[in-house]
Structure 1
């Protein structure tokens, strides 16, 4: 498992929020609401495919995100594409890379991540799992053990990494005990 990009985490969080409101809500329903193919959405969430700029704009529009959220989503997509070494990045996304993100935005996002870690029970449970017998650092295994969806488990693990409570070392996630 690799660490997810912020834009994937934002989408997974939105999907998890909708599933929390309606247990029968699915990835297919989410794709329908975003007006994109379910297979495309699945590939985007799993990291097998990047959003195009037009799909990213469509997603931000359909989710009724604020301009700040939309900007952060597009900026995260641009960073992920650059990190992956893609040469075909649209001029608009390239321009977003040149605009620095404000430290206040970053601290606000971090504060939201910290709040979610404190507020949601699954973060504590994930932190305890490495001390159990038969622990596996696989998101599917974590989801099965805690009765979560794979998307919820992946978002929670990504959030724990973002706030520094877990770290990625090769294939194993270890507690950051320092």
Structure 2
């Protein structure tokens, strides 16, 4: 059994007592947003320990039931870490979602306050309703979100893009976020951002290992920052590049 199945069973028990008992009412009684409940039910999000404690109190779980739920969650976390990425987006698929607004909307699905409604997404992001609808369609076409009885939800797919193959779409996406980072240096208070750099004389033989360490760091940082009560959309750019002119480059 998965945590999502456990929650669905809890909801169904209440519906048997009251056929009018809605998912919105269930979210209210659990003390979470309807969007966050949707994410739990779709299996896209695993609650943090503090959230689990709150859910346990709302569901009046015994200590034995609580431990059983913890075991479910630990198993899901283990399976998630062990399976890596489900698939790599093709360049054509990535072109559909390369705009920074697409990735911002997709990340917003993990917000603790998320509401699976176009109007809520538009209000939160300050994008127009038309922009949100367009980007949601692109995300759906790329298989990153889907429409369910609970509204739009993220799919369970863990995706990546090409790391070594030159791609104009990927370059454009990085440029967009770098422009946002440049503006943030002037407009975002220091306590709300962290921008540092260091210049080194390196051995190119160690570069592949360095890139692996950066990938591991990104994964660990993501796990940390996406736990707890999530509300804000941030972007992490880790840039490692030669400073002085090189004799030759592959044209990426």
Tell which structure's C-alpha radius of gyration is larger.
2
With the length of structure 1 as denominator, give the TM-score of the two structures: 0.44
State the TM-score, normalized to the length of structure 2.
0.32
| Higher relative helix content | 1
